[in-house]
Amino acid sequence: MKLEVNGLTVSFSIPGATVRAVTDASFSVRQGECLALVGESGCGKSVLAHALLGLLPGNARVSGQAMLSPELSPELDLLSASPAVLASRVRGREIGLIPQSPATHLTPVRTARAQLEEALEELGSTSSATELAERFGLAPRDLDRYPHELSGGMAQRVANAIALAGDPGLLIADEPTSGLDRPLVERTMAVLRELCEEGRAVLVITHDLRAAAQVADHLAVMYASRLVEVGPAAELLDRPRHPYAAGLLAAQPDREFVAIQGMPPELTALPEGCAFAPRCAHATGACAARPPMSAGVSCHHPLREAAHAQGA
């Protein structure tokens, strides 16, 4: 399984304005690997995920290419595929989705077991609800509870089980740790890592860099609809090149714990140049022009090059 995204752009037409939610995003996710897409809330991460599955509202305009290459099925461009193809072939079967705030996505008047069994039946799986639930640490009695009787961690595990009901080759986890305490965050990330080790491709969308570090092989940092840095997780976490990526890391409790000053721009009023420039201590006049993505970073003044020049 492989997903290759090139130039993905999403905008929404609203009265009097256009929301530019995703701008020219390019990345890949391969079998046995995890890519974590990180950034502040509202930067476009979840919109990107929903675009891949055709789950955007009618006022969305989508362009670019997202080629899905399963092992046993023909290659497919997710962005040009019809709703019927996405519903019958892709969702749940080739791509599983763990939604943000899973408790709110579960039907409140049906037990967890009924919803998991329905997913298994619809997707033609031979697994039992109990077997799949136990894999994610749920006891059989937990499945007989209604969503309001589940803790946040239990609801997360039910969502994980439903996402795996069709044995998809690619899993998209949209903020899978939102609202969970740290032990449950670590458990959730460990499960996603296990799925990678089994040969699945995993795309994790999160604002939690600590969680991303636990599971990701590669990181993609998003700011104001645009990817600003993409690279191997260990390298990016150790020596980020984009000032925004460095700021995200510095804001972590286990590092400097210093917040990035200022606010991101509105997605209805994105600048033509570098969107991070008003918050960046390294900005110059060159930043009035949008920097191209070069060697994995979109910045006129990458930090490693700046450090090297000063040392010289």
Q: What is the pLDDT of residues 281-301, one digit of tens each?
A: 999 999 999 999 999 999 999
pLDDT at 237 over 60: yes
Q: Give per-residue pLDDT as tens, 91-132.
A: 999 999 998 877 778 999 999 999 999 999 999 998 899 988
Q: Give the pLDDT band of residue 136 (cuts 50, 70, 90).
A: confident
Q: Give per-residue pLDDT as tens, 137-193.
A: 888 899 999 999 998 888 888 998 999 999 999 999 998 887 778 888 888 899 899
pLDDT at 312 over 60: no
Concatenating the DSSP letter of every residue in the chain gives -EEEEEEEEEEEEETTEEEEEEEEEEEEEETT-EEEEE--TTSSHHHHHHHHTT---TTEEEEEEEEEE-SSS--EETTTS-HHHIIIIIBTTTEEEE-SSHHHHS-TTS-HHHHHHHHHHHTT--S-HHHHHHHTT--HHHHTS-GGGS-HHHHHHHHHHHHTTT--SEEEEESTTTT--HHHHHHHHHHHHHHHHTT-EEEEEES-HHHHHHH-SEEEEEETTEEEEEEEHHHHHHS--SHHHHHHHHTSTTTT--PPPS-PPPTTS--SS-TTGGG-TT--GGGGSPPP-BTTB--SS-HHHHHHHHH-
> pLDDT at position 184, please?
81
Task: Tell me the C-alpha distance between 121 and 26, whole Å.
Answer: 35
Q: What is the mean pLDDT of the chain?
A: 92
Amino acid identity of 178?
A: S
pLDDT at 87 over 70: yes
> pLDDT at position 223, please?
97
Cβ(165)–Cβ(125) below 8 Å: yes
Mean pLDDT of 261-268: 95
Share of the chain above pLDDT 90, in %: 77
pLDDT at 309 over 70: no
> pLDDT at position 310, please?
42
The CA-based dihedral angle spanning residues 287, 288, 289, 294, taken in that order and rounded to the nearest 10 degrees: 10
Q: Give the pLDDT band of residue 305 (cuts 50, 70, 90).
A: low
Is the pTM higher than 0.85? The answer reads: yes
Share of the chain above pLDDT 70, in %: 97
Q: Bigger pLDDT: 4 or 183? A: 4
Report the half-sphere exposure of 205 (CA within 13 A, side-chain side).
Answer: 24
